[in-house]
């Protein structure tokens, strides 16, 4: 998959482009349906399957004080799209100038004249252009006038719930990992670099890897059973998402104790899948009380792995 950063770096050198357009935060089952439709149409025309998305997320510019935490980093999104079979990923900078483009200009100037698209695929609730005034009906109307095929993908419904990033965040904030995974089509995950921490876990007898993540986590604070990918190896462990109230820390961190691993991880990139929520974050009265709770968490997590409380990887495969 080729990644192109910005419209200024675009060159019309791809044949018969069909493009999915959207933010695709989470690349959940609804997004996956849009992207698969795009790939199918491109393959049928022996053309190019492209995904056009925006960075930063438009809400970070439009509503910076209340923008929701993202479900996927840019690197995670690119990895998933590559695995799905997308040919080109176009990352468009969402800035003040782009924000002011009218819906008609977006379709005629950007999509048709600049990008030279043959077709676009979007979700049923897609909005675009200045103040979000562009609708799917307008996209279809203007597309027909300029020979741009337009496909509107209906909502994906799982167990009576319409799949959406908003709904997935709500489930994650409640610690409902399995329900969120059912809408994502995979376990929620993050990627990051292992950095130096306070080394309190090591002093307690449970060394932890501190993961630097470049965004707010859309996860409830507390302790999780996790599956970690490190290079080509897989390890399980327990992770804490929180501010360590026992130590009066303000910064929210992701800290992981890996089972059956010894060695230094500083500087390594690690991918973390959250398999189950064990308990909420709490403040302990003593280090001994904290040590006992960590031991209990680890034993419970290992018991879940040995039993049937965690869905098999075939149900929620890693994308």
The catalytic residue positions are 255
Q: Can you point out the beta strands (E) in 160-268? A: 161-162, 189-195, 209-212, 222-230, 233-242, 253-258
In a 3-state reduction of DSSP, which class is residue 254? Answer: strand
16's CB contacts (< 8 A; 6+ apart) are 42, 45, 46, 47, 48, 118
Token look-up 């959940």 returns 28
Nearest Cα neighbor of 318 from 267, 266, 274, 276 is 274
Compute the chain's Rg from CA coordinates. 22
Tokens of 74: 């840019």
> What pairs with residue 3 in β-bridges?
89
Which residues are CB-neighbours of 319 under 8 A, at least 6 positions away? 27, 79, 80, 83, 84, 185, 186
Q: State how far the Cα of 175 lies from the Cα of 222, in Å rounded to an integer.
A: 9
CA atoms within 13 A on the CB side of 56: 14
Q: How far apart are CA 306 and CA 197, in angstroms?
A: 30
**Sheet strands side by side (includes 119-123):** 2-5, 88-93, 48-55, 17-21, 119-123, 149-153
């Amino acid at each position: 998959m080729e990644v192109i950063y910005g419209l200024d770096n675009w060159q019309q050198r791809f044949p018969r482009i069909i493009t999915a357009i959207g933010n695709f935060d989470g690349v959940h089952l609804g997004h996956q349906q849009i992207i698969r439709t795009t790939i199918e149409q491109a393959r049928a025309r022996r053309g190019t399957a492209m995904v056009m998305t925006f960075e930063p997320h438009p809400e970070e510019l439009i509503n910076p004080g209340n923008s929701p935490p993202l479900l996927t980093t840019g690197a995670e999104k690119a990895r998933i799209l590559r695995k799905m079979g997308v040919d080109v990923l176009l990352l468009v900078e969402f800035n003040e100038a782009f924000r002011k483009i009218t819906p008609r200009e977006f379709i005629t100037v950007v999509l048709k004249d600049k990008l030279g698209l043959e077709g676009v695929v979007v979700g049923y609730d897609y909005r675009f252009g200045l103040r979000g005034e562009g609708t799917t009906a307008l996209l279809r109307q203007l597309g027909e006038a300029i020979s741009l095929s337009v496909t509107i993908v209906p909502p994906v419904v799982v167990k009576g719930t319409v799949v959406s990033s908003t709904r997935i965040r709500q489930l994650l904030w409640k610690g409902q990992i399995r329900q969120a995974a059912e809408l994502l089509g995979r376990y929620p995950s993050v990627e990051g670099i292992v950095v130096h921490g306070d080394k309190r876990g090591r002093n307690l007898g449970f060394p932890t890897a501190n993961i630097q993540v470049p965004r707010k986590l859309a996860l409830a604070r507390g302790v999780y059973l996790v599956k970690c990918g490190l290079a080509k190896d897989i390890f399980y462990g327990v992770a804490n998402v929180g501010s360590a109230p026992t130590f009066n820390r303000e910064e929210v961190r992701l800290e992981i104790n890996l089972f059956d691993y010894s060695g230094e991880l500083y500087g390594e990139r690690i991918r973390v899948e959250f398999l189950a929520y064990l308990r909420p974050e709490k403040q302990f009265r003593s280090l001994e009380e904290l040590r006992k709770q960590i031991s209990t968490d680890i034993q419970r997590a290992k018991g879940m792995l040995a039993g049937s409380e965690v869905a098999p990887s075939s149900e929620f495969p890693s994308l």
